[in-house]
Structure 1
């Protein structure tokens, strides 16, 4: 039986949600370290450009157009990876859409879409990955959650609920793998603080203001955490001191932590520039917000007069 790889060189990695943000950053960095990367997302033209970038730099990558809320399209990601590289060493579920605002102001169709992508889509990917890993006898599943997985956040209600589900699923899967004697299959969950990626402008937004959050982190620290987790996954991995502090605080003082977090979220939202309610990119992809960085911190400095 093939042993678990211990280097990024020639590692076969599926990255679902690879057209922007963490997924794009992780795919490019993994390829730079010699991994063979399968990029999946809805925006095929963007994925093809990233593949060209990787290949031009001497790397190996293929792209698969897929909406992870469709189980058949997730199967196509799996089939393309195994058909091209004969195995999958790591599956990164970097999928996530959001809807920001008071729960009752967000249309039900947007709540449903967040669940379909963030939870059902992640379940579909996890299922495909774990069945492949059990056939191989090894593998690593990296689920991208959020500090919202631990701390439920006001104005990100259903998003936070799905991210709590991500962490709960990861915990359950690790226990089931232990019970099944699958010692070489691991599941890790990445839990970032608010990070400056295109997620914010792609999210549906019913706050009446541009999206923002206090003390946003740079996406590179999360990209690095994902790359590290491909070889050294942790069941719970808060990223950065703010996420770690919030995680500890919620274990010690849950009600106070939730109240303070809610107050910060509302205060930050009220400081932002006006914006009409919109569905963002959660139902249909848009051709902007293509980078790893979302440019939110730059806008916040202007809004704050800095």
Structure 2
């Protein structure tokens, strides 16, 4: 039929759907005909996005750090659409600042969101995939899971855990002969989404980094895994170059990365400490893209405030 779309009948769960990668993934998959289940804490935003996407979009208010919320997300998706074909653990947060200056409650909260949230989602997804004997689990990690990030040590640790978790689950599916169940991990570069708005910031400075990648590049790569699953993908030449260099001269690359991060922080305007969206989601930062590219342009032109 002429009205059929590329992904008619495909059901995809996306966490972190209220902004950034998650919102972009939902919009594209919905436009291609998929059933999309939108998970995030910001109810109003995912309800608005679901209306925009149409009747095959289902918003489910979810705090991924709570096991009961993730169970309800899974059960609601299956109840509405009968199955889940793809589960994308995209939601995560970060903290920038000296490790000992970050409040313990913020460090614990980041572990709950990034590690426990991904674990809960992976558990419910794989349990369902085993029952239906097929499915694709996509876990969003980062290049910093493989290269140390000073002043982001706890974030680096959570992303390393996600990469290792995904690799172990990938091997588990292979050993069990489940060739139609795929586990993928994604490692993007620093990307221009609204992540700086939601990040806990104890650096004393505004978060202004560059050069950054376009979110559309990452969104396309994630959706590409639905068609051609891979165990692990490193997105972009900056990630691939950094990882290759780190393997050759880890001490030097680690030192240069740390020095570069510190220089960018120290050159940015001062800012008050904030826990970002760790404990309570902020109203700001609602689009796919952020403002890092615009800030970099102003800085290069000498127009930075």
TM-score normalised by structure 2 residue count: 0.95
Partner of 1:177: 173
Name the CA distance, whole Å, in 2 between partners of 1:9 and 1:303.
45
Q: Equivalences for 1:17-56 in 2 at 5 Å? A: 17-55=16-54
Q: Indicate which of 244, 247, 250 corresponds to 2:246.
A: 250
Partner of 2:207: 211
Name the CA distance, whole Å, in 2 between partners of 1:233 and 1:117.
25
1:68 maps onto 2:64 in alignment: yes
Q: Indicate which of 83, 99, 123 corresponds to 1:127.
A: 123
Runs of 4 or more, structure 1, over 6 Å off, are none
Q: Equivalences for 1:263-302 in 2 at 5 Å? A: 263-302=259-298
Asked if structure 1 preserves the Cα contact closer than 8 Å seen for 2:197 and 2:276, the reply is: yes
Q: Indicate which of 152, 157, 161 corresponds to 1:156.
A: 152
Partner of 2:8: 9
Q: Indicate which of 113, 118, 139 corresponds to 1:143.
A: 139
Name the CA distance, whole Å, in 1 between partners of 2:254 and 2:111.
22
Name the CA distance, whole Å, in 2 between partners of 1:279 and 1:302.
26
Q: Which has the higher mean CA deviation after the structures are superposed, 63-72 or 205-214?
A: 205-214
Asked if structure 2 preserves the Cα contact closer than 8 Å seen for 1:189 and 1:235, the reply is: yes
Q: Equivalences for 1:57-96 in 2 at 5 Å? A: 60-96=56-92
Name the CA distance, whole Å, in 1 between partners of 2:51 and 2:283.
18
Partner of 2:3: none
Tell me the secondary structure at the aligned position of residue 183 of structure 1. Answer: coil
Q: Which has the higher mean CA deviation after the structures are superposed, 232-241 or 21-30?
A: 232-241
Q: Which structure 1 residue ranges, 5 or more long, are not aligned?
A: 1-6
Name the CA distance, whole Å, in 2 between partners of 1:8 and 1:159.
34
Tell me the secondary structure at the aligned position of residue 288 of structure 1. Answer: coil
Asked if structure 2 preserves the Cα contact closer than 8 Å seen for 1:37 and 1:62, the reply is: yes
- Number of paired residues? 297
Partner of 2:113: 117
Partner of 1:236: 232
Q: Which structure 2 residue ranges, 5 or more long, are not aligned?
A: 1-5
TM-score normalised by structure 1 residue count: 0.94
Name the CA distance, whole Å, in 1 between partners of 2:232 and 2:245.
15
Q: Which has the higher mean CA deviation after the structures are superposed, 81-90 or 265-274?
A: 265-274
Q: Equivalences for 1:99-114 in 2 at 5 Å? A: 99-114=95-110
Name the CA distance, whole Å, in 2 between partners of 1:280 and 1:212.
15
Asked if structure 2 preserves the Cα contact closer than 8 Å seen for 1:191 and 1:239, the reply is: yes
Tell me the secondary structure at the aligned position of residue 115 of structure 2. Answer: helix
1:231 to partner: Cα distance: 2.2
Partner of 1:4: none
Asked if structure 2 preserves the Cα contact closer than 8 Å seen for 1:273 and 1:303, the reply is: no
1:96 to partner: Cα distance: 0.7
Asked if structure 1 preserves the Cα contact closer than 8 Å seen for 2:38 and 2:57, the reply is: yes
Partner of 2:161: 165
